[in-house]
Copies of this chain bind each other. A is one copy, B any other.
Amino acid sequence: MYPFLPSENGCLLNGMSHTPGIRQAQKLKTRQALLDAALTLLEEKSLSSLGLREVTRAVGVAPTAFYRHFDGVAALGVALVEEALGSLHGMIGAILADTGDSEERLDRSVVLIARHVAEQPAHFRFIAREQHGGVGPVREAIAAQLRAFTEEVARAIATEPQSAGWDRQDLLMLGGLYVDHMVLTASALLDAAGPEDEREVVRTARRQLRLVTLGRAHWLDS
């Protein structure tokens, strides 16, 4: 599936005499160009209707060149999932590393999501669209990644004093609620018509998070 990188460990050896990277670098460049073009095209289409030729045409390479990088459109989709959720991973890390008052953290989280969505709209749109989309492998890849995020969030939540006495099921449940809410908020931000709409979405998202946090605080009272 992935191209062998034989010069990776031989880099230092090759670095002496022969130039090691030109060919690989070019290949990676084309590959990235394919991914970028696909992501752009996917802003107003869904993956299952994305044509292989359409992508190569946008990049300016022959249709056959596509196969040098991916088995088919589905494989490209899976690669896009990795790319998109890489940036998401960074964002979640930043949110979890946040400290301070619960209310402030909540605010900062929503703002952070809004900023990332504004910076990488295509990535979020792709994830939201293909999460329930028509291409099986891509759907599964996204589900697996989001499940990983849920566990990560649950693990972070577990270390906080508010979560004393919570069992694993409850922690995962709350983590899932947070992750789902994040994806939904991102999608709502993308659908927002203008700056005013966006602020409204942010306000609502904050309110909803506050309610969830409130429920969390009284979870063990039942």
Q: Mark A192-216, 1 if CB is under 8 A from B, else 0.
A: 0000000000011001101111111
Q: Which of A126-180 contact B (CB under 8 A)?
A: 128-129, 131-134, 136, 139, 143, 169-170, 172-174, 176-177, 180
Which listed residue, B134, B172, B177, B204, touches A129 by the CB 8 Å rule? B134
A218 part of interface (Cβ distance < 8 Å): yes
Is the pair B45, A134 in contact by a Cβ cutoff of 8 Å?
Answer: yes
Chain A interface size range:
35 or more
Given contacts A207-B169, A208-B173, contact A222 B215 (CB under 8 A): no
Task: Name A187's closest neighbour in chain B (CB-CB).
Answer: B132
State whether the Cβ of A46 lies closer than 8 Å to any Cβ in chain B. yes
Seen from chain A, the residues whose Cβ lies within 8 Å of a Cβ on chain B are 44-46, 48-49, 125, 128-129, 131-134, 136, 139, 143, 169-170, 172-174, 176-177, 180, 184, 187, 191, 203-204, 207-208, 210-219, 221-222
